[in-house]
Structure formats: structure tokens, C-alpha cells
Amino acid sequence: MFIKPLTAKLLTIGALTVVLLLPLSQVRSLVAERQGMRQTAVDSIGAGWGRSQVVGPPILEIPTETESTVGERVVRTPGFVHVLPATASFESRLEPDRRRLGIYEVPVYVASLKLAGRFVAEPPGELLSDTPSRVVHWKRARLIVPIADVRGIREVKLATANGAALHLQPDAYDAISAIGAPFDASVLLQGKGIEFRFDLTVAGSESFQIMPLARETSARLASSWPHPNFSSGAFLPVSYDLDAQGFDARWQVLELNRGYPQVWPETLVDAERLRASAFGVGLYQPVDTYQRNERAIKYALLFIAITLMSIFLWEQVTGMRLHAMQYLLVGLALSVFYLLLLALSEHLAFAVAYLVAAGALVALIGIYLAGVLRSRRLAGIAAAAIASVYGLLYLLVLSEQYALLLGALFVFAVLGTIMVVTRRFDWHALSNDGGD
């Protein structure tokens, strides 16, 4: 069946657009690969400096021993009861820095942490009451301070309970690493409380979080980092001050806000439940190179299709004819732009990388069209149009909150322009034209 030249040209442009999905998919895969390499760099730096830190007030771990009879034998089963403090307050100052591994940069920090709180004497309850078959070993208790990565502990300036120095050792609760010390908790049976104080220096990377393990947990975190991410934890700050010099944020969390009790046996409350309640701050990097490259590629097919369709309409308006190979070369140039942008943005500021890549693209297409169209004026107009299109793409890439709105308005504007420009076209007459 005979296909008219105009229809054939439209089908060819559509096929070329689909074919260009292949190099675009390769570039997107490359972005994912480079993101993976960056994460490897983050893990490597974290292993040496300190990973994302999650800390909590001390957990009082009290050993128990239960007797049971199996046949004629008496079996003693050891266990533990965990008790959380009544109050805990955190004061921390994060001093941010950056570490590099190859071309990758990772935000790190050193946190000066002051922690104070109190266990109160309360009726023992069922779990902590001595019975004929169970003994509670109050004198053999331990205070366990959860710290996600103990390798990041730089200094312990102070560690006391009721004024007595604690001899800290590596410890753990379930899957959470910790430091701990033995402590005679029988003072709670005497109606006295246990007041604790810790003054630590902890190194970490990317984020710092606190687990609200007390009945009332208050925290204050401050830093000179100007881009905090408070939404990475379970609770947002009740108040914060934020400016170009950094942030100062405060939290208040109650037992009623958490998903676990004050007292539990063994590991009834596992590490994941404790971690899930953590709150704090992430050292957010607003210039995330790979995120912006990914966002640019999402719009790639749309921008390539619009560019090729604009050239096609120009053909019809000017009467000049372009070969399918010329469309293909222009499309490949538009695709290579995203590869060039990715490569440059790993070494330059994203704005500079985008300017260089877009400038190179516009210059290349302008020079090419000047030869194809045999007109510098027409090529200059085409280059200016492409420059404006990629200027809009830059705005879409930068905008996090309004990208969808800007994209929708752009598509509507382009479609409206095409419809207005071609509203008087006699497509039937054009379809009967020759040309390639």
C-alpha cells in the first residue's frame, strides 16, 4: 500500500524518537551505576569515619533467674528485664565537614553530646518482683547506652551514675551496638533514683538521630550545616531556628508517642522498633548531582520529540526538506547531551556543567543546521529556540516542588503553539507533496 510522503515522514520521526529511547535508557542506567558507586564511597568513608549515628539514653538491664521442674530435675533459666529511664535530655552540637573519596564527597560531622536523665524508684511490678520460682538480681544490673556505630566514639569525657564513675565496655542490645557498664540497681528498691550523666564526642556521617527511650525525652540539636533534613526521623522538631549560619532545633517526645513500654522482658522490644522511633537530622545536600541528572532524563524523551517535531513543522513552513538521517543525527546529539551533562556534573558545579553541556549542544546543532539549511539566519533561529527549550529544562531540573506544574504548563504551551501555528495548514495538500 502506498504511503504518502508526509505520512511517511511523520512515521519516520516517530520511529526515530522511539529508537532514541535506547541511548537514553543506557544513560539512565549509567546514572544508577554512578549512584551505586557514590554509595560505595559513602559506605567506605562511613566505615573509617563513622556511619549514620543513632544514640539513646541508657537502658537498665536487670538479670533474672527462673526455676522450673522438668521431671525430677530443677532447671534454672536466665533472663533479663529491661527498664527505661523516666527522663532524658540531650544537648548536642554537630560540627560538619566533608570527606572525599575519588570524585565523591560525603558530609560528615563530629557531635559533642551531653546526656542527662534519671531512673525513678517505682513499685517493681510483676516482671521485677521476686517469687518462689524467680529471683531478680538487682546488684548485677547493667546500664547500656545504645550507639549505632561505636567505632565513631572519639572521647568519653564523663560517664556517671549517682555521681559514681562508670567503667564503660563494648556492649549491645539486640542488634544495636552499645557501650555499657555494671551498676548496682538495688538503690531503686530503697526508694532512691538513679541519676546519670554522659558527655561524649561521636563522629558520624550523613545523619544523627536520637531514640526516645525515656518516659519524657527532650533534645536540642544545633549545627552550622545550613540544609538540615528533619523529615528523616519519626518525629519533627517542636521548634527550630534556621538561617544561613545553620540550625537550632528542639524535640519533645513522650512515652505515649512511642510504640513500646517502659519495661519489658528479654528482647520483646526488638532493635527495629527502637530504631523506628528515632528522630533527628540528616545533613541534606540540596545539590544532588545524580538526582538532578535523573530528573533531566525523565524529561528527555519529551524534549527530543518536541525538538524533532518543531524541525518537521519548520520544514513545512519553509518548504525545505530534511532527510531522515539528518533527523537521526540531531536526535543523537540531543541524547548525547545527557551523557555529557552527567560526566561534567561529577567534576563541576551542576549549574556550570549544565551551561557547558547545553552550550555545546546548541552550538553543535546550530553549526550543523547552518550547513543543512544553507542559512546562518535560520540556523541561528533554530539554535535560539533549542537554547530556550533547554533553559526551561534547567528550571524543571532545579525545581523540586513545582517541577510537575512547570512541566504541565510547558507541554500545554508547546501544544497550544503548534496548534495555533498549524491551524491554517492544508494537511491534505501537504500530504500529496513529494520530497523526502
Q: Would you list the domain boundaries of the chain? A: 5-38+290-431, 50-286
d(CA 251, CA 209): 11
Tens of pLDDT along 235-277?
999 999 999 899 999 999 999 999 899 999 988 899 999 999 9
State the CB neighbour count (10 A cutoff) for residue 277: 22
Proportion of the chain above pLDDT 70, given as a percent: 89
What's the Cα-to-Cα distance from 400 to each of 59, 96, 160, 338, 391, rounded to whole Å? 41, 25, 47, 19, 16
Q: What is the pTM of this model?
A: 0.72
- Taking Cα atoms as reference points, which of 140, 211, 147 lies closest to residue 179? 147
- Taking Cα atoms as reference points, which of 234, 332, 436, 419 lies closest to residue 23? 332
Tens of pLDDT along 24-38?
888 888 888 888 888
417 DSSP assignment: H
Asked if residue 403 has pLDDT above 70, the reply is: no
Contact indicator for 386, 362 with CB cutoff of 8 Å? yes
Tens of pLDDT along 312-362?
777 766 666 777 787 788 888 888 888 999 889 888 888 899 899 989 988
Contacts of 370 (CB under 8 A, 6+ apart): 376, 378, 379, 380
Q: Which helix (H) or strand (E) holds 77?
A: strand 73-83
Average pLDDT, stretch 405-416?
Answer: 74
d(CA 398, CA 301): 18
Contact indicator for 149, 287 with CB cutoff of 8 Å? no
Cell matching residue 90 = 540531650
Asked if residue 427 has pLDDT above 90, the reply is: no
- Taking Cα atoms as reference points, which of 202, 239, 233, 200 lies closest to residue 218? 239
Q: Helices 289-298 and 300-318 sit at what angle, rounded to 10 degrees?
A: 40
Which of 41-55, 202-216, 389-403 shows the lowest mean pLDDT across its residues?
A: 389-403
Query: 3-state class of 213 per DSSP?
Result: coil
Which pLDDT belongs to residue 1? 47
CA 341 vs. chain centroid, Å, equals 22
Tens of pLDDT along 59-105?
999 999 988 777 677 778 889 999 999 999 999 999 998 888 877 77
Q: Beta partners for 220?
A: 91, 250
Q: Which sign, positive or negative, has the C-alpha torsion 181, 184, 189, 192? A: negative
Q: Which sign, positive or negative, has the C-alpha torsion 306, 311, 317, 319? A: negative
For the domain spanning 50-286, the CATH number is 2.60.40
d(CA 397, CA 338): 12
